[in-house]
Amino acid sequence: MGNTLIALAVAVVGVAGTLIASVLSPRMPARIQAEQFTREQRVAEAQWLREQEVAELARRRDGDPQPGWSFEEIQTLLLRLGDRWKDMRGIMRADLGVDPGPADA
């Protein structure tokens, strides 16, 4: 009787192990594959960032300005901005009742 119970217990453990292995086996490769995919994504993103930085440095080195913007256009816009700022400053001072001061200051 004792040997029969031991044999039965070993058989139950063997069958249970086989059944559990069939359930756990697909999970292990899936987890490894997910980790590998995540690693590959990080490597690809890091590579893309490096390429973007190299391209940005090359653009800066070549002095690539915005298309359609010449230095004369920029100067004109800055002068207009300065004139607009002086006009708005005068309006604000008048609204606040403050001495307008010199026009060119």
Among residues 80, 81, 78, 99, the alpha carbon closest in space to that of 90 is found at: 99
pLDDT in tens, 52-65: 999 888 887 776 55
Q: What pLDDT is attached to residue 56?
A: 86
pTM tops 0.75: no
Q: What pLDDT is attached to residue 9?
A: 86
CA gap 10, 20 in Å, rounded: 15
User: Is residue 28 over pLDDT 80?
Assistant: no
Average pLDDT over residues 29-39: 88
What are the sequence ranges of the domains in the chain? 1-64, 68-105
Q: How far is CA 32 from CA 17, 18, 28, in A?
A: 22, 22, 6
Burial of 21 (0-12, 13-18, 19+ CB in 10 A): exposed
User: Is residue 15 over pLDDT 90?
Assistant: no
| More confident call, 104 vs 70 | 70
pLDDT in tens, 66-86: 667 788 888 999 999 999 999
